[in-house]
Structure 1
């Protein structure tokens, strides 16, 4: 495990079980709040599964492949996770960084966009829509998702970026409740970047992201 800009940074090998990820996030968030652990960015991949956010509508879950469905506790609706998708879990102390949840979400969007830009993908946020988007017209599609939770001013959950997942798996849900647009990936766009390159791009843009959510105060 390394530290970047004062935050622990960990990349999990292989596939991480979702139940184990939830348990670890909750445990680490509680330790951060208690002052017994530092902030953490944890990058993982999951086996194929769906997660239900607090606004999930059962009518948007089809799941013909029978993947596990997990209640996530984060905001948002249904989301798919699977191999080839980089999931980033952020356990950051907003109590020490200004208590601005909107700034946190906006900075998170900007971080994903900047990292994708380093890999040659022109991505953006679209007003009124959730997630990160790329392409124009009939080629417009979602390439990244955001779903966060803030508990006692510590963040949980985070983001997902589609590097090379099986895009057919997204057909088991209406991704994030948006039925009018497709889902894409770096691989589908013809981009040959590997997971290591995506992780490096995220790492390079991380200090800028932290600067936008606020420097930690010393005494809080």
Structure 2
């Protein structure tokens, strides 16, 4: 199995980002893929496509310009972040397939936890759920995706809101969408902790990558 592990919690975002870059820079053809699970102190991150106008008011929360794809998002306590360090070339996995795999894992996990209606949204990477009480089928975001591919290898990954203070999302247009609502597992009526959710997420990601590699006739390093 591809290995997943927890990084020390909470870990400053800049420290985790540097560790991902160092790992990706140093890895070779036989370096095992890894999945890192972490919880960050409050931080806004602005991706390569990020526009400053989508940061409405970051107050005293750190703002980091980073090299992942996408716009602006928020990380903080009560959210599990999974950084996937995967050699796409070795796994024969295209980038679009990789993004779809991440979303599939999240949707399946949320469904099994009892969250109803978890889904994708066209042209807006991530996972969404129906907003309670919305008559027009409005969706709220519960998980964000942002990746970087260097020399065929990925870093960055996904963030799933578990049990967090959602107010900092009001200081931005999440992922560049004005007025986009954000929810977490707790507001969906699910009482799982970050530790419990992270373990399930790590297991599911590792198993899905393993299954995909097997379907392409590959044996991932780390088995």
Query: Above 0.5 in TM-score?
Result: yes
Residue 193 of structure 1 corresponds to which residue in structure 2?
A: 192
Q: Does 1:124 align with 2:119?
A: yes
Q: Which protein has greater RCO, CA pairs closer than 8 Å, 6+ apart?
A: 2
Residues 175/210 of structure 1: CA separation in 2 closer, same or farther (3 Å cut): farther
1:151 is displaced (CA, Å) by 0.3
Q: 2: distance between equivalents of 1:183 and 1:89?
A: 21
SS of the residue aligned with 1:128? coil
Offset of residue 180 of structure 1:
3.8
In the alignment, which residue of structure 2 is the partner of 1:51?
Answer: 45
Deviations along 1:115-158, one digit per CA (max 9) or x if unpaired, are 11221113111222221000157262100000001100110100
Distance 2:106 2:40 in 1: 19
Equivalent position to 1:27, from 22, 29, 40: 22
Q: Distance in 2 between matches of 1:186 and 1:76?
A: 23
Give the distance between the partners of 1:218 and 1:106, measured in 2 at CA. Answer: 19
How many residues align structurally? 213
Aligned counterpart, 2:160: 161
Aligned-residue Cα RMSD (Å) equals 2.0
Task: Report the TM-score, using the length of structure 2 for normalisation.
Answer: 0.88
Match of 2:60 in 1: 66
Q: Shift of the alpha carbon at 1:210?
A: 3.9
Which residue number in structure 2 is paired with residue 173 of structure 1?
172
User: Counterpart of 1:208?
Assistant: 208
Q: CA deviation at 1:189?
A: 1.6
- With structure 1 as the length reference, what TM-score do the two structures score? 0.89
> Which consecutive unaligned segments of at least 5 residues does structure 2 have?
none
The structural deviation recorded for 1:36 is 6.3
| Secondary structure in 2 matching 1:171 | helix
Q: State the 1:204 CA deviation.
A: 4.0
